[in-house]
Amino acid sequence: MERAAGQEVRGVLPEGLAEAIRTTAEAIAELLRGAPDTGAPVPRLTWTVGEVAAHLAQANALMAEVAAGRSHHHGDGTPQGIAEANEQALAAFGERAAEPLAAMIVTQADAYLDAVAAHPADETLTTPMGPMNQVVLGSYLLTHMLGHGFDLARALKRPHMVDPARVRLALPFMIQAMPRVTDAFTTEGLNARYAVRLWGGGRFGVTFTDGSAAVGHELPDRPDCTISIEPVTFLLMALGRCSPVGAMARGRVFAWGRKPWLGPRFPAYFKAP
């Protein structure tokens, strides 16, 4: 799949994204091939290893279809709706064996890259998380694989594949998705400006106005709170895989500014699907 990850995708996906998608799919497949039991539970999830792998195979196939311009209905776009659709899709798909699922995950990631090579970068696509272009969709696919790849690595007690370079490639999706996953209950009436900086590069701003979030690559003027965070910690925290309290205790995140107390509250303003 070097061809699709290389020349044809250049000019559509940002540098490094195609390669990150391909190598992440292969790293997940390698985890699965070494799994002694796909019926083992996955920490913090109700799914087994086999169910997480089946979900990844289904999701990668869906992303490949979307990238090719074929939209699919999958929930209502809310975290709860997507979770319900995931459960329904999983119940209708019986494969749980490691080797077939590993092959599907890699094959469908390759199919996604083939589809991207045949379409313009600015094409608007219909996805479970709303309209997005090919760049954001690729970032979405990578983010999804990283989250569940981390789950599988933790369940199988193996090293995970989440690293700072991959996290920075996940930012386009994270930035577009954040307003959609804002928790209306915890942000009710909130007015605040955040500047978020990832160690080593990568940043975005979040402005809450009466509880509604506007998120962009540029930082707001005179932020109320600046958050500086280690990239892997940022992604795992954003996806609900690590505790904000634990991250702060380990010195992986810092907050300062006119209202530094807003820093520890930030993760609670969002609910990951």
Residues 125-141: tens digit of each pLDDT: 999 899 999 999 999 99
For 254-265, what is the mean pLDDT?
Answer: 96
- Residue 178, SS3? coil
pTM, two decimal places: 0.94
Check: CB of residue 242 under 8 Å from CB of residue 233.
yes
H/E element holding 62?
helix 49-67
Looking at the predicted structure, is the pLDDT value of residue 191 above 50? yes
DSSP 219: P
- Partnered with residue 193 across adjacent β-strands are 207
Residue 75 confidence (pLDDT): 81
> Rounded to whole angstroms, what are the CA distances from 240 to 5, 82, 114?
30, 16, 31
Q: What CATH number labels 2-172?
A: 1.20.120
Residue 2 confidence (pLDDT): 46
Phi, psi of 245, rounded to the nearest 5 degrees: -65, -45
Residues 15-56: tens digit of each pLDDT: 999 999 999 999 999 999 999 999 999 998 999 999 999 999
- Residue 181, SS3? coil
Please name the residue that has the structure tokens 């799949």. Answer: 1
d(CA 173, CA 92): 28
Q: Domain residue spans in the chain?
A: 2-172, 192-269
Contacts of 201 (CB under 8 A, 6+ apart): 168
Q: Which amino acid is at 105?
A: I
For 79-102, what is the mean pLDDT?
Answer: 92
What is the per-residue burial (b if ≥16 Cβ within 10 Å, else e) of 59-74?
Answer: bbbbbbbbbeeeeeeb
Topology given in CATH for the domain delimited by 192-269: Nonspecific Lipid-transfer Protein; Chain A (3.30.1050)
Residue 4 confidence (pLDDT): 46
Check: CB of residue 208 under 8 Å from CB of residue 191.
yes
d(CA 47, CA 154): 13
